[in-house]
Amino acid sequence: MNLALGTVQFGLSYGVANINGQVSPEEAKIMISTAQKDGIELIDTAIGYGESESCLGSVGVNNLKVVSKLPSIPDSIKDINGWMEVQVKESLGRLNIDSLYGLLLHQPGQLLSTKGSLIYEALEQLKEQKFIQKSGISIYSPDELDLICDIYNFDIVQSPFNIIDQRLYSSGWLNKLNMQGVEVHVRSAFLQGLLLIPLHEIPAYFSPWKKLFVTWKSWLEEQSLLPVEGCLAFIKTFSDINYLLVGADNNNHLNEIISAFKKAEVNTFPEICSSDENLINPGLWK
């Protein structure tokens, strides 16, 4: 398993624990340099991440594997292949690179629409044209894989995964993807920073799950671990994961994450997994 750098913070103010706002271009350049020095080879971005692609292009990412994501394809688009090609070419222009290591669909549910086969064929053509090396999907729940992967084959699947949201593993899909030779990228290791916040600072919305967070914090104290170390140590126990995407608000934060990833080694973990969408899906948070 390798660390990869998620760059949504390079284009947007993102994360429940983010108090610093969007990363400045100057800080982004320092962070990319830090990432490369520590062996991080993959950068994750998206067309929908505000100024992230442009920021990366100005910093320079020629020596890195870059994965980006397509936004939802408008219903009005008739020439899906042409639209997707234009989107990718514009993305490459902003990133200032010749090809993407990976292109993911940000709304993979569109593959189940009447235009699904055209979308998939367009992805395959982008590979043939050498605009992208690999194609894939970014999912919110492994349930999406049950339907989509019965019809289509992908090179990469990106999914949320952390000590609370263990669905990718418990559903059996993590093992299935590995057996099929699919590259697995996981994100949301810190549940948008929620797992890093001191107990007394957790927003009132999460009070129904207070017992879960108390258990988490107690376990960290017993193990003498920082929250970031506990989060990363859990994910490191899953050998079927290829890349662990982490986001950082600044270079100091990134260095903390890299250091924690290197040292995190734990064998037993608290039983705090949940399948409650209101907790594990940030899109539903209020």
The whole-angstrom separation of Cα 43 and Cα 64 is 7
What angle do the packed helices 116-128 and 80-95 form, to 10 degrees? 50
Q: Are 83 and 118 in contact (CB under 8 A)?
A: no
Asked if 46 and 68 count as a contact pair (C-beta separation under 8 A), the reply is: yes
Q: How far apart are CA 151 and CA 257, in angstroms?
A: 38
Q: Residue 65 phi/psi, 5° resolution?
A: -80, 125
- Given phi > 0 = left and psi -120 to 50 = alpha, else beta, which region is 43? beta
Confidence (pLDDT) at 19: 46
* Residue 126 burial by Cβ neighbours in a 10 Å radius (0-12, 13-18, 19+): buried
* Cα 15 to Cα 165, 205, 208, 282, distances in angstroms: 17, 15, 20, 9
Q: Which residues pair with 186 in a beta bridge?
A: 159, 244
Predicted confidence at residue 21, as pLDDT, reads 65
| Local structure of residue 110 (DSSP, 8 states) | G
Q: What is the mean pLDDT of each run of 10 residues along the chain (286 residues)?
A: 93 54 89 95 94 93 96 93 97 97 95 95 97 97 93 97 98 97 97 94 96 98 95 96 95 95 88 96 92
CATH of domain 2-284: 3.20.20.100
d(CA 102, CA 104): 6
| Whether the Cβ atoms of residue 126 and residue 88 lie closer than 8 Å to each other | yes
Amino acid at 252: N
Residue found under tokens 């830090």? 34
**pLDDT for the residue numbered 20:** 54
pLDDT recorded at residue 11: 82
Q: What angle, 0 to 180 degrees and rounded to 10, lies between the N-to-C axes of helices 251-263 and 25-37? A: 20
In whole angstroms, what is the distance from residue 176 CA to residue 158 CA? 14
Alpha helices in the chain (DSSP H): 25-37, 52-59, 80-95, 116-128, 143-148, 167-170, 173-179, 210-223, 227-236, 251-263, 277-280
CB 105 within 8 A of CB 138: yes
Q: What is the reported pLDDT for 12?
A: 74
Per DSSP, the three-state class of 215 is helix
> Is residue 237 within 8 Å of 20, Cβ to Cβ?
no
Distance of CA 198 to the CA centre of its chain: 23
